[in-house]
A = this chain, B = another copy of it.
Amino acid sequence: MMSTGNHRAGATAAPPRPWLPRLWLAALVCLAGGTTAKPVTVADLLARSPAADWRTPDPENTLYLELERGRVVIELASRVAPVHVANIRALARAHYFDGLAIVRVQDDYVVQWDDQTHRRPVPSQVHPSVEFTAVAGADARFQVLPDRDVYAPEVGFLDGFPAARDPRSHLVWLAHCYGMVGAGRDDPPESDATEMYAVIGHAPRQLDRNVALVGRVLQGMELLSSLPRGSGEMGFYTSSEAPVPIRSARLAADVPKAQRTPIEVLRTDSATFRAVLDQRRERHEPWFKFSPGRIDLCNVPLPVRAVHPDHLNL
């Protein structure tokens, strides 16, 4: 994991190990798995996955944020936050974000983009709303993760996004994991998605149910997370720091097919995803001496893969 694969020469004898590794468990699984002793990796699982375990995000729910350094691909949670996603479609189609900038990069927290001048006209189709929890019907689509959570009674997945649920109230909401995208707001709580942010640090789950999450970065996350941090309060860029220009924000549906990013996402209701979860909980790789046995919602990989354009049904 941390290793380069090269074992340093000259290592002296090791002191006694102060713990009992769970290697017997790994050994058992390896034996059960077949003739090879090599434990299965996530890469193995993805390589052997059937095509049906993958889905192509809807171009109407895919936003391309074009920066000078490249494209950030965002999948929009249209069934969870339909008003905000309709707003984002209207804003993108009005070219509202074009020429705006990333104005805030706060370390271990968020990247934010909006119109700091508040001078841009907002299309009349854009309506402020409160969508902190998913609209009715989400409960039936929620896939429970059996692992514990610090903040919510239950966690899991909703439409492919990390989510949480209160089984008493039947409320479901998206979770502020790394790479999630939300609609910033002031107080009162309505937001309209003219201000957007992406999480670039340890999951700020205290924001759950306090802001509308509207999607997730599928590709290009490093273009946001590696931006220089702003030196102003809350990570805002000051006048001496150049904001990061947004060339444009477009729905994939509005981009010529040849210019779209051919991408597929692993279905969270697939057998491959369940196998990935098991692998990540137990970590049978020999490098691991202590099996975590559990997984944090925001540590669950949500695999995305590039596909050859000819094989993509866009």
Asked if B210 and A6 sit within 8 Å, CB to CB, the answer is: no
Give 1 or 0 for each of A269-284: 1 = CB within 8 Å of chain B CB.
0000000000010010
Stretch in contact with the other chain, from A7-15, A57-65, A88-96, A253-261: A7-15
Copies in the complex: 2
Stretch in contact with the other chain, from A27-35, A294-302, A306-314: A294-302
Asked if B225 and A19 sit within 8 Å, CB to CB, the answer is: no
| Contact (A3, B184) CB under 8 Å given A11-B128, A12-B128, A229-B222 | yes
Question: In the complex the two chains form, what is the Cα distance from A21 to B176 in whole Å?
Answer: 19
Interface range for A: 35 or more
Question: In the complex the two chains form, what is the Cα distance from A222 to B207 in whole Å?
Answer: 22
A177 at interface, CB cutoff 8 A: yes
Q: Which of A2, A118, A127, A149 has the most CB of B within 10 A?
A: A2
Partner of A108, one of B3, B179, B208: B179
| Contact (A206, B292) CB under 8 Å given A14-B130, A118-B9 | yes
Stretch in contact with the other chain, from A47-55, A72-80, A194-202: A194-202
A133 at interface, CB cutoff 8 A: yes
Asked if A18 and B133 sit within 8 Å, CB to CB, the answer is: yes
Majority secondary structure of chain A interface residues (helix, strand, loop or mixed): loop
Question: In the complex the two chains form, what is the Cα distance from A8 to B7 in whole Å?
Answer: 58
> Which residues of A, 123-173, contact B by the 8 Å Cβ criterion?
127-130, 132-133, 147-151, 171
| B contact residues around A9 at 8 Å (CB) | 118
Asked if B3 and A186 sit within 8 Å, CB to CB, the answer is: yes
Question: In the complex the two chains form, what is the Cα distance from A112 to B189 in whole Å?
Answer: 41
| B contact residues around A208 at 8 Å (CB) | 290, 292
Smallest Cβ distance from A48 to chain B, in angstroms?
Answer: 19
Give 1 or 0 for each of A190-222: 1 = CB within 8 Å of chain B CB.
101011010001111111111100000000011
Smallest Cβ distance from A128 to chain B, in angstroms?
Answer: 5
Smallest Cβ distance from A68 to chain B, in angstroms?
Answer: 14
A305 at interface, CB cutoff 8 A: no
Interface CB pairs A-B, < 8 A, 16: A1-B207, A4-B236, A5-B186, A7-B188, A8-B194, A9-B118, A11-B188, A12-B128, A107-B226, A132-B289, A132-B290, A148-B149, A202-B203, A204-B299, A205-B299, A226-B229
Return the 4 tightest CB-CB contacts between A and B, nearest first: A2-B184, A209-B290, A206-B292, A222-B229
20 additional A-B residue pairs with CB within 8 Å, beyond A132-B289, A178-B201:
A2-B197, A4-B116, A4-B236, A6-B186, A7-B188, A8-B192, A12-B127, A15-B129, A17-B130, A105-B226, A148-B149, A148-B150, A150-B150, A150-B295, A151-B294, A177-B202, A202-B299, A208-B290, A210-B289, A226-B227
